[in-house]
Structure 1
């Protein structure tokens, strides 16, 4: 069914049969078709009338037969039931107390409930058994009627009911019938102090007391009523003034007490507010780093350039990789740096070195002196020379295949004045180490060192260039 709350045809047939005091009878007449697509035929007998209908299930066939019987039956039908209407009930899901609270807030008149003493039902007779004696085993207390007094502004209403909540609803319904058609009173414009609509009554009381240098004290005087419907009485004292408020919670009673005492505080003479002169503070000038031509010579050029741009309050440098060329073991990177409208480039065997060279070129272009590097490298860190690995012995010169081939070619030739010989002579006489990036200058190119040459081969090569011979002889170790 689309709506489960609606009655099915079988339910309606049962009501019709009950109204006519007959019994409906359903009977399965036929069942045909394959197992996955059965069709059932059901017969309904209602009094002297008989109907038949089919369906894909027994239940559907019964409903179809019942619907057919409802449409064709001539039996008298019961009158439709009218919904129960309670005089004290409120239409919809909103209770009378909730609706009255909303109306009271619009009128600016709080609704206050005060429970009264319950009274027993008059002329109530006890439950007597057939012997004329009071049933002592099943003895129930005499039921009571509860009363509640409701005050809305200057009007009062009395509600009654079997429970206190029913009495509240009854009083609220009476108040709604009396106040629903009355116009809402207009509130006079407030011109005195403490009239901010965004602040609560309690905040306004504290604000006025602070301006007049008065003390504020809230105190709960009384707490009455059952646990589910408490009533609190709170007193507020502001200097020489005092007022009381009542509500079903401490917060509400405190708010109503503050609302009552505000009426007395507004009668006091108005105190003009004196505005304090605004104090003007001088803004501290930020210390600007003076970046002269000698600034940061011992720093990494990348960090040096970034600090200079920050000190000038300008845009930081923008780095971009332009190209990457060369063999996989001998790569060359070209990095570009842009500062405002100035653009420079730098090359190197890796991106880090290329970026550093581009920053150094930008510093020189901007008018700064070249960066200096001590033995420890940039920023006091150890220089990144190539460290020997576990497979490489210490003291080996790491050269590329091209350099090694050139060394072999120069060994077979008789010329000794080429660039390779000059490099070998410098290595032999001065004892210089390879550069930090692990490359050697051969024919104007930086070649990455990847092949290790044995010391004997190096000495043989240098001896061949210098024109002397090298001989090896085993020496017996000395005894200590």
Structure 2
């Protein structure tokens, strides 16, 4: 397994770009291969230099092209900072205080640090070295030393250092050396009581009304405060407030609404604390959002074989422009042979497409827009014409239109001419509906 602290090639490329105040840009050029074994081609632009590489995933291709850029780039690389020396030669990156906190938690004994102020040095030479205003004898000041007292359970340790943090580390190192080999003490039943006392200390900082709402929220109980009585002269009013928490209720009286509300909450809080404790419920794991991909799908060759509608939408997203706008212009033809005309608008560019249904018309419009924007077609135009002609032949054969003439024309011309010929026949039949009935009668008489 690789060292997690080791920087990846992409991270090093970002540092190199930041050092030269340039922006690296990754572009997905193409993807090839079957769905279970795809290969992605990525291009990295760093200033005026570009590199290309492939990988079985977009991330692997990005890492490969970043490694290639690091080895072949002519840009001067930033100087790597040496790692910081560990305090007190502590192995690993964990400081002694952090390591001691973990050990103290296992032992159930808190680690408490108390700073100790050193005693001031007596100034014996203050009155014996006076040599006049301009001929004084100065002494080098003594460096200040900090002292710390560390208490872990019943054990006490002292540390010293040039700074208060260094003194804490020194005391923690002494505590670790003394406590690492000692057995962990068994937890006494008083720990639960101490935990309750700590909770009580936390609750002491909260008002009674807040505690009532907290308990009611945990137990899914409704809370309501209501002033039920108001008496006395204007300068000496008395208020009675009733609080209802689920099945519990209490009343409180005071010379203000706030005081009566607080006293009512205090009374009902004593009843709520008698309830049995709630079962412990594990918190659900947090789901973090995925980071946005740092890849731009660009290039006229990218996306060949994809759906033109999806391809056009991805191109607009890469350009950070508005998505394509599709509008149905017209619908014509017989009920069983409809032809739809769809228009797509991208910026100031407009293209249209036709098809036997809205889906194909939308797809053809997107394909026309891609060609208009300078991108290569997803499939060849001849394949599309062949498919359109074959579908038209199938529809006309089902409708009983002159299949013999269609077969003769299939031998004489291309599929494109067949489709055009059959469309003309259909338009003529639509204009003269009587001819279809006559053909049907002739076919029946022949049978």
Into which bin does the TM-score normalised by the smaller protein fall?
Answer: under 0.3
| TM-score for the superposition, normalised by structure 2 | 0.24
* Greater RCO (Cα-Cα under 8 Å, separation 6 or more): 2
